[in-house]
Chain A
Amino acid sequence: MAVCIAVIAKENYPLYIRSVPTQNELKFHYTVHTSLDVVEEKISAVGKSLGDQRELYLGLLYPTEDYKMFRKLHNSFTDVMCNPFHNPGDPIQSKAFDGIVSGMMVQTG
Chain B
Amino acid sequence: WKALRRPLSTVKQVYSFKEKHHGDLQGAGDQSLFTSLYTSLAQQLPREPMEWRRTYGRAPKMIHLEANFVQFKEELLPKEGNKALLTFPFLHIYWTDCCDTEVYKSLVKEDMLRWQNSLRAHGSADWVIIVVETNDNKKKNKTNILPRSSIVDKIRSDFCNKQNDRCVVLSDPLKDSSRSQESWNSLLLKLRTLLLMSFTKNLGRFEDDMRTLREKRTQPGWSFCEYFMVQEELAFVFEMLQQFEDALVQYDELDALFTQYVLNFGAGGNFGWSGLLLRRPIDMEKRDGIQRGEASLLDLRSYLFSRQCTLLIFLQRPWEVTQRALELLHNCVQELRLLEVSVLEGALDCWVFLSCLEVLHRIEGCCDQAQLAANCSHTVGLWAYATDKLKSLGELCGLVSEKEPTSEDLNRTVDLLAGLGDERPETVNSLQSPYKKLKEALSSVEAFERHYLELSHAAMEMYRAIGRLRSARLVGKSLAEFYMRKADPERAETFLQEALKSYVSEGWSLPVTHTRKQIAACQKLLGRTEDYLQTSALLAGDVNLTTEERKHFCQEILTFAGKSGDQSQKVTLSMGVFTQLTRLQFRPATASVHSGAVLQVELTLRCLMPVSVHIQQLAASIHFDLERGGTNGRSKGTQRQTNPGTVEFHQSNSSAGPPSSSAAGPPLELDEIQDRSPSDNSLNSTGVVCKNTHLVMRRHDSHSPPDTPNCVSPPAVAMKEGAQMLKVQDVTLEPGNNSIIFTAPSGQPGTYTLRQLYATVGQVQFVLPHIYPSVQYEVYSQEPQLTVEPLSEPLLAGLPQMVKFTLLTGHYTVKKGDALQLSNTDTMPILPSSSCTARISNPAAEIIFDTYNVLSIQSSEKVTSISLPPTPPYHTLEFHLEVLCLIPSGDERPANERLTNGEVRHRPRSYSHPDTPMTAIDQRMSIDCPWSIYSTLLALTFYIPFKTKHSLLSAGNRKYIQVCVQNVSDVNFTLAEVKLTEKQHATLELQSLNTKTQQLLCSKHSVFCLWEVRWKDDLPSCLQCVFSADFSPLNQDISAFKPFHYQFQFERVTTLYSVRADILPPAGEQHCRSGLLCGLEVCITRLTEPAEGELAEDSKTDTDGLKTTKLMYEVADSSSNWAVCGKSSGMVSMPMAASATHKVQIEVMPLFAGHLPFPKIKVLKYLPHTAAVAIQPDPDSCVENDSLSLLDKALDDQGDTASIRSRGSVHSVGSGDQQQKGVAMPRLEPFSPGQVFNHSYTQQVLVLPATDDHIMEVNAT
Find out whether the CB atom of B334 lies under 8 angstroms from the CB atom of A65.
Answer: yes
Given A29-B508, A29-B510, is A34 in contact with B471 using a C-beta cutoff of 8 Å? Answer: yes
| Docked complex Cα distance between A87 and B660 (Å) | 10
**Chain A nearest CB, measured from B473 CB (Å):** 8
| Range for the number of chain B residues in contact with chain A | 35 or more
Find out whether the CB atom of B661 lies under 8 angstroms from the CB atom of A33.
Answer: no
B-contact 0/1 string along A21-39, CB 8 Å cutoff: 0000110011001101110
Contact among A26, A36, A88, A90 for B470, CB-based, below 8 A: A36
Judge whether B798 is part of the interface by a CB distance below 8 angstroms.
Answer: no
Find out whether the CB atom of A13 lies under 8 angstroms from the CB atom of B659.
Answer: yes
With a cutoff of 8 Å between Cβ atoms, the chain A residues found around residue B514 in the complex are: 26
Look across to chain B and name the residue whose beta carbon is closest to the beta carbon of A92: B658
With a cutoff of 8 Å between Cβ atoms, the chain B residues found around residue A90 in the complex are: 660-662
Find out whether the CB atom of B330 lies under 8 angstroms from the CB atom of A33.
Answer: no
With a cutoff of 8 Å between Cβ atoms, the chain A residues found around residue B334 in the complex are: 65
Find out whether the CB atom of A13 lies under 8 angstroms from the CB atom of B508.
Answer: yes
Find out whether the CB atom of B704 lies under 8 angstroms from the CB atom of A14.
Answer: no
In chain A, positions 59-87 with a C-beta closer than 8 Å to chain B are 63-65, 87
With a cutoff of 8 Å between Cβ atoms, the chain A residues found around residue B385 in the complex are: 63
**Chain A nearest CB, measured from B250 CB (Å):** 24
Given A63-B330, A64-B330, is A87 in contact with B661 using a C-beta cutoff of 8 Å? Answer: yes
Judge whether B381 is part of the interface by a CB distance below 8 angstroms.
Answer: yes
With a cutoff of 8 Å between Cβ atoms, the chain A residues found around residue B708 in the complex are: 13
Find out whether the CB atom of A25 lies under 8 angstroms from the CB atom of B471.
Answer: no
**Chain B nearest CB, measured from A74 CB (Å):** 17
Judge whether B665 is part of the interface by a CB distance below 8 angstroms.
Answer: yes
Find out whether the CB atom of B700 lies under 8 angstroms from the CB atom of A33.
Answer: no
| Docked complex Cα distance between A91 and B470 (Å) | 22
Find out whether the CB atom of A89 lies under 8 angstroms from the CB atom of B701.
Answer: yes
Judge whether A94 is part of the interface by a CB distance below 8 angstroms.
Answer: no
Look across to chain B and name the residue whose beta carbon is closest to the beta carbon of A39: B470
Find out whether the CB atom of A63 lies under 8 angstroms from the CB atom of B327.
Answer: yes
Find out whether the CB atom of B705 lies under 8 angstroms from the CB atom of A13.
Answer: yes
With a cutoff of 8 Å between Cβ atoms, the chain A residues found around residue B705 in the complex are: 9, 11-13
Look across to chain A and name the residue whose beta carbon is closest to the beta carbon of B503: A33
With a cutoff of 8 Å between Cβ atoms, the chain B residues found around residue A41 in the complex are: 377, 466-468
Judge whether B506 is part of the interface by a CB distance below 8 angstroms.
Answer: yes
Query: Which of B507, B514, B701 is packed against the most chain A CB atoms within 10 Å?
Result: B507
**Chain B nearest CB, measured from A37 CB (Å):** 4
| Docked complex Cα distance between A65 and B329 (Å) | 12
Judge whether B921 is part of the interface by a CB distance below 8 angstroms.
Answer: no
| Docked complex Cα distance between A89 and B660 (Å) | 8
**Chain A nearest CB, measured from B305 CB (Å):** 16
Find out whether the CB atom of A10 lies under 8 angstroms from the CB atom of B701.
Answer: yes
In chain B, positions 510-527 with a C-beta closer than 8 Å to chain A are 510-511, 514
Look across to chain B and name the residue whose beta carbon is closest to the beta carbon of A40: B467
Find out whether the CB atom of A14 lies under 8 angstroms from the CB atom of B508.
Answer: yes
Find out whether the CB atom of A89 lies under 8 angstroms from the CB atom of B469.
Answer: no
| Docked complex Cα distance between A26 and B477 (Å) | 14
Query: Which of B469, B503, B510, B706 is packed against the most chain A CB atoms within 10 Å?
Result: B510
| Docked complex Cα distance between A4 and B664 (Å) | 29
Find out whether the CB atom of A88 lies under 8 angstroms from the CB atom of B503.
Answer: no
| Docked complex Cα distance between A107 and B658 (Å) | 28
With a cutoff of 8 Å between Cβ atoms, the chain B residues found around residue A9 in the complex are: 701, 705
Given A89-B661, A90-B661, is A33 in contact with B701 using a C-beta cutoff of 8 Å? Answer: no
Given A88-B700, A89-B661, is A33 in contact with B470 using a C-beta cutoff of 8 Å? Answer: yes
Find out whether the CB atom of B468 lies under 8 angstroms from the CB atom of A38.
Answer: yes
With a cutoff of 8 Å between Cβ atoms, the chain B residues found around residue A89 in the complex are: 661, 664, 700-701, 706
B-contact 0/1 string along A8-20, CB 8 Å cutoff: 0111111000000
**Chain A nearest CB, measured from B661 CB (Å):** 4
| Docked complex Cα distance between A14 and B709 (Å) | 13
**Chain B nearest CB, measured from A50 CB (Å):** 22
Judge whether B719 is part of the interface by a CB distance below 8 angstroms.
Answer: no
With a cutoff of 8 Å between Cβ atoms, the chain B residues found around residue A11 in the complex are: 506-507, 701, 704-705
Query: Which of A12, A26, A89 is packed against the most chain B CB atoms within 10 Å?
Result: A89
Please provide the 5 A-B residue pairs with the shortest distance between their CB atoms, ordered closest to farther: A13-B507, A11-B705, A37-B468, A89-B661, A91-B658
Residues of B within 8 A of A (CB): 326-327, 330, 334, 377, 381, 385, 463, 466-471, 474, 503, 506-508, 510-511, 514, 658-662, 664-665, 700-701, 704-706, 708
Q: 23 A-B contacts, Cβ less than 8 Å apart?
A: A10-B701, A12-B507, A12-B705, A13-B659, A13-B705, A13-B708, A25-B510, A26-B514, A29-B508, A29-B510, A30-B511, A33-B511, A34-B474, A36-B470, A36-B506, A37-B468, A37-B471, A63-B327, A63-B381, A88-B701, A89-B700, A89-B701, A90-B662
